[in-house]
Structure 1
Amino acid sequence: MTPDLHIVGAGLTGLTAAIEAAERGRRVTVSEAHSRPGGRARTPAAPFRANLGTHAIYVDGAWWAWLERRGLTPPVVEAPRLAALVRTGGRLGPWPDELGRAIAALPAEAPTDESLRAWLLRHVDAKTAEAIIAVVFIFTFDHDPGRLSAAFAHQRLRRALAGGVRYVVGGWSTLVDLLAERATGLGARIRTQTRIPALPDGPTILATSLATARQLTGDGSLTWPSARTATVDLGLRADGGPGWFRVLDLDDRIYAARYSLADPTLAPPGHELIQISAACAPGERKADVERRVRHLLDQAWPGWRTAVQWYRSAIRTHCTGAIDLPGTTWHDRPAISRGGTLMVATDQSAAPGLLAEVGIAAAQLAVQERSRPARV
């Protein structure tokens, strides 16, 4: 088959673009450098099925509606109704009711040109402002969300607390398999273990990271801020375990969740899978972040050290979605259409959405643009 659309990257973004394009009659080839599709949504094989990327899906978003229309929604579960612990002032306790009331009482709209911290300080005291900023870390992964655009952070705060988050049973690979099967069923060709050293000839969508797109194109304008985050994944013997599903550390901006409580298939019987994200300041070493994580676990799960069966940690850079600084919105991010036959669809492209939804929206916009009649 001679393709009339080449997609580089078979992550959620690339697979979504492949389905959209194939539905419109395009002959699609998708090239993926890894041995299987999924990109950052790959889930390793048992015994501990710890996602490499984002752990949840928002069922109130445009992409979920897109999946529903095609019968592609994966099996999902809600968070268990266990206590969510919050660490503040060095102490662990339940979610502070006064914090929830303060967030609910914020104005419905926030300014684009003002930082989140400055805006919050006009409405709440300094201690409450810093607590809200720490909560915003959960869905921005930024070491200091207070520096971000107030409008950007506030919109996402409202949505993240609205209750639309779900967890994919079996990990992200469950959804990746559904998308890959649909794409190939529509005639798309997915070539794994195929690294693309240069831009393909003809119409192309780069469904990669922005850094990879910049390398392939040589286009230095393909830049946008993103977070630097440390991730720590643990497989533990259960041994009863504490009575929480998630812990939010407002002091050190760490988020930990026992995903195997939501989905027992993620860990062997009698074991737990915990995945942790921790704020990582520019220049901060991984060892220093891991020390903070261990300190939190010592409080939240006494005895966890002797129960460890599997451990993985990494620093994630520029792969946690776009962040908008004061004075910018998603409209200011790198354009999807790069002129001629090239489209760039990344999590930091000029498209709306939350976290990875941005890349998926960019892919859909790219396919729509490619499907328009040629201008004369």
Structure 2
Amino acid sequence: MKPDLHIVGAGLTGLTAAIEAAERGWRVTVAEAHSRPGGRARTLPAPYRANLGAHAIYVDGPWWAWLERRGLTPPIVAAPHQAGLVRAGGRLGPWPAELSQAIAALPAEAPAEESFRAWLLRHVDAKTAEAIVGVVFIFTFDHDPGRLSAAFVHQRLRRALAGGARYVTGGWSTLVDLLAERAAGLGARIHTRTRVSALPAGPTILATSLAAARRLTGDASLTWPSARMTTVDVGLRADGGPDWFRVIDVDHRIYAARYSLADPTLAPPGHELIQISAACAPGERKADAERRVRQLLDESWPGWRAAVQWYRSAVRTDCTGAIDLPGTTWHDRPAVGRGGGLTVATDQSAAPGLLAEVGISAAQLALQQLGETPRLAQAHVGV
């Protein structure tokens, strides 16, 4: 039987859409270009189970509630209590208590039309403002979050510091497997190694990157700013290294975390897995970003180079969600509904949420816009 609905992309967004569509009675086919589902939420096989995409899931968000209602919540762990290190103003040391106090004292609301930096400077001194801007890199991945909409940044800052971030045990693939199994159990057909080169006929959800949706549709309006960053993943012998869980370099926009300290299954016994993100300024080369990362590790983990067992690095462009510039909000991003039964559900679509939650919200909006399935509509006529 021909499917009622085509979904292109079997990442978290595409799998969520497949489950919701199948629950509503759609016959669903999902096309995934890679050899397995997951998109950017894939995890490498052992010995170092490094995630390809962002690492945390927010348990205070709407998608976690969606998972709970379906019994799909994966096993999770919170960040360990080991102290973290922060570089601010050229000094590497414990998290400054005064920085937390300054963030807590900020007004509850910020304007969308003003830049975050300009808004901060009306409330704190310049040094504190730049430190807060550096912290914001952690969840925007942008090289200069101070240039972004104050409302966009401030809403995410308050939520990120509220403590809702958790890590999926075994890496993102644990959750992907749960979603793929549920989708298949509901009748959705997931075809891996299937690269779509033309739009399918009939109702379609493009659950891809915005760039891929633009290529498939030829619609030049499918564009929105995102970030560019270099990721560095390191597997190394523990060798009695320091006990920090994370290092945040607010001066140079780097975030490093020992995810194996939270979840020992990510690395072999006696070994550690560190995953690092470094924002790339416009035109900055990958080699220069990696140099900044290595310098930070030299200071925070002396001797780490001799303990390295595995290393990889990559530049990732436009794969960390949307960023809103002053005067814009999520409402201004590319619309989910494109007409003619075509919908675009990406992390940069016109939908609310934090990071990957945007794509999930967009998928749910897409299904609302597509309306009833043909089978349900025919059943209603028969009645």
Q: TM-score range by the shorter chain?
A: over 0.9
State the secondary structure of the residue aligned to 1:118.
helix
1:109-124 equivalences under 5 Å are: 109-124=109-124
Q: Distance in 2 between matches of 1:250 and 1:223?
A: 29
State the secondary structure of the residue aligned to 2:338.
coil
Which amino acid counterpart does residue 164 of structure 1 have in structure 2?
Answer: G
Report if aligned partners of 2:224, 2:333 keep a CA contact under 8 Å in 1: yes
Gaps of 5+ in 1: none
Match of 2:381 in 1: none
Q: Distance in 1 between matches of 2:250 and 2:22?
A: 46
Could you list the per-position Cα deviations for residues 303-327 of structure 1 after superposition, in whole angstroms to 9, with x for gaps in the alignment?
Answer: 0000110001011100000000000
Q: Distance in 2 between matches of 1:206 and 1:88?
A: 41
In the alignment, structure 1 residue 13 sits paired with structure 2 residue 13: yes
Match of 1:93 in 2: 93
State the secondary structure of the residue aligned to 2:130.
helix
Shift, 1:372, TM fit: 4.4
Which amino acid counterpart does residue 92 of structure 1 have in structure 2?
Answer: L
Which amino acid counterpart does residue 321 of structure 1 have in structure 2?
Answer: G
**Identity rate, percent:** 84
Shift, 1:98, TM fit: 0.4
Match of 1:232 in 2: 232
Q: TM-score, normalised by structure 1?
A: 0.99
1:1-376 equivalences under 5 Å are: 1-372=1-372
Report if aligned partners of 2:260, 2:266 keep a CA contact under 8 Å in 1: yes
Which amino acid counterpart does residue 35 of structure 1 have in structure 2?
Answer: S
State the secondary structure of the residue aligned to 2:321.
strand
**Residues 373, 40 of structure 1: CA spacing in aligned structure 2 closer, same or farther, 3 A cutoff?**
closer
Q: Distance in 1 between matches of 2:94 and 2:217?
A: 49
Report if aligned partners of 2:138, 2:255 keep a CA contact under 8 Å in 1: yes
Shift, 1:371, TM fit: 2.3
Q: Distance in 2 between matches of 1:371 and 1:36?
A: 29
Which amino acid counterpart does residue 355 of structure 1 have in structure 2?
Answer: L
Q: Distance in 1 between matches of 2:69 and 2:250?
A: 39
Alignment length (residue pairs): 375
Could you list the per-position Cα deviations for residues 315-349 of structure 1 after superposition, in whole angstroms to 9, with x for gaps in the alignment?
Answer: 11000000000000000000000001100000000
Most deviating of 172-181 and 234-243:
234-243
State the secondary structure of the residue aligned to 1:321.
coil
Shift, 1:373, TM fit: 8.1
- Aligned CA RMSD, in angstroms, stands at 1.1
State the secondary structure of the residue aligned to 2:222.
coil
Could you list the per-position Cα deviations for residues 133-165 of structure 1 after superposition, in whole angstroms to 9, with x for gaps in the alignment?
Answer: 000000000000000000000000000000000
Q: TM-score, normalised by structure 2?
A: 0.97
Which amino acid counterpart does residue 245 of structure 2 have in structure 1?
Answer: F
State the secondary structure of the residue aligned to 2:311.
strand
Which amino acid counterpart does residue 193 of structure 1 have in structure 2?
Answer: R
State the secondary structure of the residue aligned to 1:315.
strand
